[in-house]
Structure 1
C-alpha cells in the first residue's frame, strides 16, 4: 500500500493491516522500525521518540551492534593499556567464560536476560565466586565502551546489582602456633618463606622477587620494590600495581635470627642474589611450591583449604590486633585504598567486643552471688518489718 508522507519520517499500512514506520537517520539513510505497529497512532508515537533521540544526539545506529561479540571483546582487550598479568587474565576470561555462551552472538544480541542466564550458568557449573565476579566486571567494562564510546548499543545489559562484588568466603586466620607448625613442616629451604609471608604480610610474588639488598638485618626491615608474575610458563619481574606497593616493612625481631640463617644457607650470594630459590637454583614458582604446601598442611594437621595467601591475611590480622591504625595497615599491606585495611580493623573491633563480653561474664559471675545474698537479706528485712507492724497493731 502507498506510504503517507509526514513532516518527518514515513508511515504506511501493510497488506496485513499493520503499520510500518520508517525514519531518516543522521546519515540520511531511511531505516524501518524493528517491528510493525497495530495502529497508525502507535507508529507515529514511535517516530516521535526516534526523532527526539536524534535531536538529543542519543541515537544509536541499529547496524553498529551487528559486530560479532567475541571479535569485539578480543579487540577491546588488545587495545587497552594493561599490565601483562592483567592482559593475560582478561584473555583467559574471554576464552573460557565468554566464548562458550557468546561465540555466535552479535554485540546487539546480548540483552540483560542473556547476561543473567550466562552468570547463572557459570555459577551452576561450579565456577568460583571470585572468577564469576571478575568475569562480570570485564563484561560490564566492555559494554560500557560499546555504549559510551563506540555507540554500538544504547544500554549496558550488565545491570545485576552486586554481581561484580567479590563475595569470597572469609579467609582463614591461623594462630601463631599453626604458622610455626607449617614452617617446621615445609621443606627447610622454605621455612623462612612461610614466616616472612606471615609476619611481614608480603605476597608470594613479592617474596619470590626479593634480593639480598632488599633486606636490612641490622635495622630489621625488608624493602618491597618489585614482584614476580607467572605468565604462560614464564616469569616476569615487574613493578607494583600502585605507588603504595613500593614500601618498607619492619621485620619482627623474633624471626631475624631465622632470616639470617636462611640467607647464609639458601640464598644466592651477592647483593643482587635472589633470597628464595629452588634446590637446583631455579626460580620459585607457585605451581612447584603448591605441592610442598599441600604436604606441609597434612603434616601440620591444618585444614587443606588453607592457602598460602592466608598467611598474609593472618599477618594483617595480627597487625590490626597489635593496634595498627588504618594508615599503618595500608602502608604495611601496600594498599592505596583503605577498603582492605578497614576489613581487619572491623574484625579487631569484633574481637574487642568478644573480649569485653568475656570480661562482663567474669564480672557477673563474681557479682551474682553477692546480689543474690543481698536480695535474700532485703526479702528477710521486708518480712521482719511486716511482722513487727502487725504485732504493733495487735497490741
Structure 2
C-alpha cells in the first residue's frame, strides 16, 4: 500500500489512506520526528477515539476529490477499497459512488426531458412512468435499485396491469436505468440481470373479419362515416390517419393515397401530427375506393371541410389548416374516443358483431392485411403499406395468415392451366 500512502507535495491529489487518530510528531522546527528505524513517531490527534479512524481519499477520473471512511481495525478494508477504486479507474469501469445517490424520480424526469418523443408519445410515457414506476421506485436512489427490487416491483403490478402494459412499463424502466449506466450513475442495469424476466405480453392471434362482416359494419354506419370503413378495409389506414386525410392526399391519376398526417389527442386537445413512427407513406388506391371517395365529396354534403389545429403540440405547435374528408356534423375534427362511442360501437351492435378489444376500428386494418396476403402480396410491401417500422413486426403479427407453400403452388398451377381437364 506504500504507493497509496505517499506524503508530501501534492498529497491531496494522490490516492491515499489517512489515519485520523494519529499523526506524525513534529519538533519545534516543524520537522517530523523519526525513531531509530527511520519511521515517524506518531502521536494522538484530538479526534482520537472519536468516529471513523481511516479515510480513503482519491480522485475520480473527472478529477473530483472523493473520500470514504472506515472504522478502527478496518484498515484492511480501506486498503481493499482503494485498490478496487484504482483498478476500476485503470479499466475504465469506475462509477462515482455519489452518482448513485440520485433519486430515481429525479433522474427519470431528466431522462424524459431529453427524449425526442412526439407530444402524444411523451404524454403516454410520462403517464406510465409516474403512475407505475414512481410509487415504488421514485424515492429510491439509483444505486439502491437492485434485481430483487425489480422483481418485487413487477410482482406488485402482476394483478393490476395486463402483461402487455407491464411489458411496456418495464421497457421504460430498462431504458431509464440503461441511460443511468451510460451516464455512469450506476455500474449495471438491474433489469438485465438473469434473474429478472421481462413481462411477456399475451400473444393474441389476429382473426380477420370476413367480407360479410366488413360489409355489415359499413351498412350499419351513418352514411357520413362509411368512408371510414372503406379507407380502413380498402387501404389499411389507421383511425387517426383516416381522420386526417385530405382530398389533396388522394392522387386519382396515379392511384395512390399519400398518408401525411393524423389527427390525435395530446393533453386533452386535438392536434395534427405525423403518422405513427414519424413517417409518411404511399398506399395503393383501389379504383372502388377512389369511386367511394368521389361519391363522399360529391355535392359537398360531407366535405371537404377546412380544419385548423396545432401541429403536434397543443400549446406551442404551429396552427395548421387542412381540408379534411371526414369531420363531425358540426364541422370539427373527429375525436377517436367520441367517434368510437357515438358511431362505431352502435354500428357494431347493428351489425351483430360483439364489442371487444379485437373489434375496434383497427380490425379494418387486419382485414386489409389478410386480403393482401391471401392475394399473394409480400411482407415487405405489406409492411410499407401499413406503415410499420419493421417488416419483422408485420411478419410476427400476420404470419399465420400467409398462404402455405402448398396453397401457393396449387394456385400457381391452376392459374397456368385455367382449371382445364
Q: Name the TM tier (shorter chain).
A: 0.7 to 0.9
Q: Secondary structure at the match of 2:122?
A: helix
Q: Tell me, what secondary structure is at the counterpart of 2:117?
A: coil
Find the partner of 1:133 among 167, 172, 175: 167
Preserved CA contact (<8 Å) 1:74 1:94? no
Indicate yes or no: 2:226 matched with 1:191.
yes
Mark the runs of 5 or more structure 2 residues left unpaired by the alignment. Answer: 7-14, 22-48, 307-320, 412-421
Deviating more after overlay: 326-335 vs 279-288: 326-335
Match of 1:248, SS state, is strand
Aligned partner of residue 124 in structure 1, secondary structure: coil
C-alpha distance 20-312 of structure 1, shift in aligned 2 (>3 A): farther
- In 2, Cα distance between equivalents of 1:41 and 1:106: 28
**Which of 69, 72, 83 is residue 32 of structure 1 equivalent to?**
69
Partner SS state of residue 140, structure 2: coil
User: In 1, distance between residues paired with 2:153 and 2:367?
Assistant: 35
Report how far residue 313 of structure 1 moved. Answer: 2.0
- Which of 340, 362, 366 is residue 393 of structure 2 equivalent to? 340
Asked if the contact 2:232–2:364 (Cα under 8 Å) also holds between the matched residues in 1, the reply is yes
Question: Paired residue for 2:154, among 119, 129, 137?
Answer: 119
Q: Secondary structure at the match of 1:303?
A: coil
SS of equivalent to 1:183? helix
- 1:22-61 C-alpha deviation (Å, 9 max, x unpaired): 453423332137xx89987676545433331122232212
CA-to-aligned-CA distance 1:239-290 (integer Å, 9 cap, x gap) = 23557x3222123334443332222231225895211111111111111011
User: Is 1:179 the counterpart of 2:230 in the alignment?
Assistant: no
The separation in 2 between residues aligned to 1:28 and 1:255, in whole angstroms, is 71
Contact 2:302 2:326 survives alignment (8 Å):
yes
In 2, the alpha carbon distance for the partners of 1:195 and 1:11 equals 79
Which one of the candidate residues 308, 323, 330 is aligned to 1:273? 323
Tell me the equivalent position of 2:285: 251
Partner of 1:381: none
CA displacement, residues 202-227 of structure 1 (integer Å, 9 cap, x when unaligned)? 11111111111212345543221112
Residue pair 1:229, 1:237 contacting (<8 A) in 2 also: yes
Instruction: Give per-residue Cα distances to partners, 1:96-151, cap 9 Å, x unaligned.
Output: 112222232222222221122212222221x23332222111111111221112x1
RMSD (CA atoms): 3.5
With over 3 angstroms needed to count, the CA separation of the structure-2 counterparts of 1:162 and 1:308, relative to structure 1, is farther
Cα–Cα, structure 1 residues 68 and 274, in superposed 2: closer, same or farther, change >3 Å? same
Q: In structure 1, which of residues 81, 84, 89 is the aligned counterpart of residue 124 of structure 2?
A: 89
Query: Who is 2:349 aligned against?
Result: 298
- Relative distance call for 1:289 and 1:51 in structure 2 (3 A) is same
Could you say if the C-alpha distance between residues 310 and 123 of structure 1 is closer, same or farther in structure 2, counting changes exceeding 3 Å?
farther
- For residues 200 and 38 of structure 1, what CA distance do their matches in structure 2 show? 77
Tell me the number of residue pairs that the alignment of Structure 1 and Structure 2 aligns. 347
